[in-house]
Structure 1
Amino acid sequence: MTLSQIITERVQRVTGQSQVALHEPSFKGNELAYVKECIDTGWVSSVGSYVDRFERDLAEVTGVKHAVVVSNGTSGLQIALQLAGVQRGDEVIIPALSFVATANAVVHCGGTPHFVDTDETSLGMSVPALADHLAAITERRAGATVNRQTGQRIAAIVPMHTFGHPVDMPALIELAARFDIPVVEDAAESLGSRIGDRHTGTYGLCGMLSFNGNKIVTTGGGGAIITNDSGLAKRAKHLTTTAKQPHPWAFFHDEVAYNFRLPNLNAALGCAQLEQLSGFIAAKRELTQRYAEALKDVAGVSLFVERPGTHANYWLQTLILDSDVAHLRDEVLSHTNAAGQMTRPVWELLTTLPMYAECPTMKTPVAQDLARRIINLPSSPQLVQGVS
């Protein structure tokens, strides 16, 4: 059998299905009851008890003081960066290996993405590589950290926790403090992931979560800004709700703002989903063990697993091809998908996309290498029999 055939057979053995998606939502809790309550009471739009409850529940789950729910993760990251002080012309450090929304949010703020390399042990931003890069290209001018090559201020660092695997945040926070650059975490994929006992998204000034339909917890579409900064949370709420001043009937808005509100219907779905988060994560961790067992004797491949000291949500199961069989990636993708097992490559590197090809970047050899070797496997929690 070829490697593609072997991988397909082993994946089918784990999923037990002839047709399986990459990641499907699971609605086996109180979703219908909560959404029906919204419809029955008429509270379906951007104000309602489930919006408030979802924010409280998210704050409790992540261990922060405040959560502000928004329409999607991209809008949440845009506002978070704006509140971190990103202005037009500033540069923002982001990983080259990330979903396009990370870069798009920077541009929506008027900033320019500045790309850095990846760490093989986390699939996220490489702190050692970033340390060397900042030391080589930056200088202090008028109290700011400036890229001497472009003359632009470096206004923020945005790590992204790839597929739910935490970046080395303690080291990154220490590095960012040395260069006096705020950190905003793109935790879109890492709800439930932790470093020790601390949740991702809580290390920097603020973090962003996503609840898109393919995430571990979904509201259909939605996101959240999480933070311990009460002033920032208040400002985030104001900016994402059209900057309307509270009043029983008057419509007074005190600045240009955004309609990034999450409807009560979506928040109701999120509350029901969040009640099942621990079960979803347990199922995904069990799925990891099943894949590991099924693939352990397959030469040329390895299943990516969490770093010591971290607890990943394993949002997407990740197969890494050895370098000497990397040229077979597309063959594996074609064979598995033809067999009904939906697999996907990692995103195209942001540095290769036409709108970002001219942005500042360090050399990214690790990201380039991983991009040709990563395959995401079917990862739905319900693939583990009996998941609730």
Structure 2
Amino acid sequence: MGNYNKVIQKVRDLFHEQKEFIPLHIPHFSGNEKKYVLECIDSTYVSSVGQFVNDFEQSIADFTGAKRCIVCVNGTNAIHLALVASGVEAGDEVITQPLTFIATVNAISYAHASPVFVDVDKDTMGMSPLSLSKFLDENTILKDDICFNKSTGKKIRACLPMHTFGHSARIDEIKSICDKHHIILIEDAAEAIGSSYKGKSLGTFGLMGTFSFNGNKTITTGGGGAVITDDEDLADKLKHLSTQAKIPHKWNYVHDQVGYNYRMPNLNAALGLAQMENLEFILIQKRKLASAYQEFFSSIDMNFFEERADEKSNFWLNAVILENKEQQQTFLTELNEAGVMCRPIWELMTEMVMFKGCQKTNLDNARWLSQRVVNIPSSVVE
């Protein structure tokens, strides 16, 4: 009980302005949010047409170094759009990781494709290049520059790693492996706006990268997502698909393929633009919080999940790694009952009834992490 009480007290000291219940992560509004939203309302352009949408897209592109950004309704839509735009078709397979939020795998299903699961690394919680390479070398064959799964006969069209809690996977190694096997790399960077690996923004290593701006993310638009890419033609395709695949015309309604009503409303983009103006400040404050946690947990000999030397994490959600499943559950019980919100990392996707039958590799690392990782309060503290 001693260490748990110390953790509770430390969290309460850090978040002293929140007297009773301390949430896991709340949005930070300290800039032009109200001003821009009111401007949007006054303009009457509150749906998917408006200057805030364009300005928000440009701000994301400028920040990440990507050439183009297409914003949409949420992060799941962003992944779905990226998969469809990349050429993933019904019956194809997409390699991903089992330790992720379910949106990653749901989006693969929306594209009528099947997920294939490879293991993660313990020190990144993201896709393991070793597991990926081993699976591809042992289970696939190239025909006419297309990667086929030898056991199913299906095309493996894309690879979708996820950057867990804002920490980078070994994305350069993953990219090299994907290139070798002629597989398209799409990064699920839903949690990683503001994170970088070897000096390069996450989301910019693959053909496309996707972000989420849900209410609990580092920055928020209430609900929202984005796809970034350096491919201009692909960006035009993404925008076209996200606006019902409507051919531009002053009054006629002509559509040239099945599209989606995924374009972000101007009202949400107004909020997002104000958030982007404060992103650097938010990132600084979140790193200060992570540093305070790191120092504290080292003093009580508890394992705080740290960034590696070659990455710069946004520390979206801070995490501790407990000794075993029993200690994980005790930690969750003690802190939540004390009004300090904590939650475990996700259940493995391969344990979900919808995905139990999917092909998978040895998942020892993913299973080990799922039984030990807990997220702790990570809101911005000024």
What TM-score does the superposition give when structure 2 sets the normalisation length? 0.97
Counterpart residue number, 2:364: 365
Q: 2:178 aligns with which of 164, 167, 176?
A: 176
Counterpart residue number, 2:138: 136
Deviation at 1:249, TM superposition (A): 2.0
Deviation at 1:134, TM superposition (A): 1.2
Counterpart residue number, 1:60: 62
User: Is the contact made by 2:79 and 2:210 (CA closer than 8 Å) also made in structure 1?
Assistant: yes
Deviation at 1:89, TM superposition (A): 0.9
Q: Counterpart of 2:359 in structure 1: which amino acid?
A: P
Question: 1:302 aligned to 2:298?
Answer: no
Counterparts of residues 1-388 of structure 1 (less than 5 Å)? 1-16=1-16, 17=18, 18-299=20-301, 301-323=302-324, 326-381=325-380, 384=381, 386=382
User: Is the contact made by 1:35 and 1:265 (CA closer than 8 Å) also made in structure 2?
Assistant: yes
Taking the aligned partners of 2:117 and 2:350, their CA distance within structure 1 comes to: 7
User: Is the contact made by 1:343 and 1:377 (CA closer than 8 Å) also made in structure 2?
Assistant: yes
Taking the aligned partners of 2:147 and 2:198, their CA distance within structure 1 comes to: 31
Deviation at 1:204, TM superposition (A): 0.6
SS of 1:44's partner is coil
Taking the aligned partners of 1:95 and 1:189, their CA distance within structure 2 comes to: 15
Taking the aligned partners of 2:32 and 2:5, their CA distance within structure 1 comes to: 40
Taking the aligned partners of 1:239 and 1:152, their CA distance within structure 2 comes to: 25
User: Is the contact made by 1:7 and 1:332 (CA closer than 8 Å) also made in structure 2?
Assistant: no
Unmatched segments (≥5 aa) in structure 2:
none
Q: Which moved more, 1:146-155 or 1:200-209?
A: 146-155
User: Is the contact made by 2:72 and 2:262 (CA closer than 8 Å) also made in structure 1?
Assistant: yes
Taking the aligned partners of 2:106 and 2:210, their CA distance within structure 1 comes to: 14
CA RMSD after TM alignment? 1.2
What TM-score does the superposition give when structure 1 sets the normalisation length? 0.96
Taking the aligned partners of 1:104 and 1:219, their CA distance within structure 2 comes to: 22
Q: Which moved more, 1:34-43 or 1:7-16?
A: 7-16
Deviation at 1:129, TM superposition (A): 1.5
Taking the aligned partners of 1:263 and 1:48, their CA distance within structure 2 comes to: 8
User: Is the contact made by 1:14 and 1:294 (CA closer than 8 Å) also made in structure 2?
Assistant: no
SS of 1:354's partner is coil
SS of 1:355's partner is coil
Q: Counterpart of 1:309 in structure 2: which amino acid?
A: D
User: Is the contact made by 1:14 and 1:291 (CA closer than 8 Å) also made in structure 2?
Assistant: no
User: Is the contact made by 2:294 and 2:306 (CA closer than 8 Å) also made in structure 1?
Assistant: no
Q: Counterpart of 1:10 in structure 2: which amino acid?
A: K
Work out the number of aligned pairs and report it: 380
User: Is the contact made by 2:145 and 2:182 (CA closer than 8 Å) also made in structure 1?
Assistant: no
Deviation at 1:9, TM superposition (A): 2.9
Q: Counterpart of 2:124 in structure 1: which amino acid?
A: S
Taking the aligned partners of 2:151 and 2:256, their CA distance within structure 1 comes to: 39
Deviation at 1:28, TM superposition (A): 1.1
Taking the aligned partners of 2:74 and 2:290, their CA distance within structure 1 comes to: 28
Q: Which moved more, 1:141-150 or 1:180-189?
A: 141-150
Q: Which moved more, 1:8-17 or 1:43-52?
A: 8-17
Taking the aligned partners of 1:281 and 1:142, their CA distance within structure 2 comes to: 45
Q: Counterpart of 2:84 in structure 1: which amino acid?
A: Q
Taking the aligned partners of 2:180 and 2:45, their CA distance within structure 1 comes to: 48
Deviation at 1:329, TM superposition (A): 1.0
SS of 2:275's partner is helix
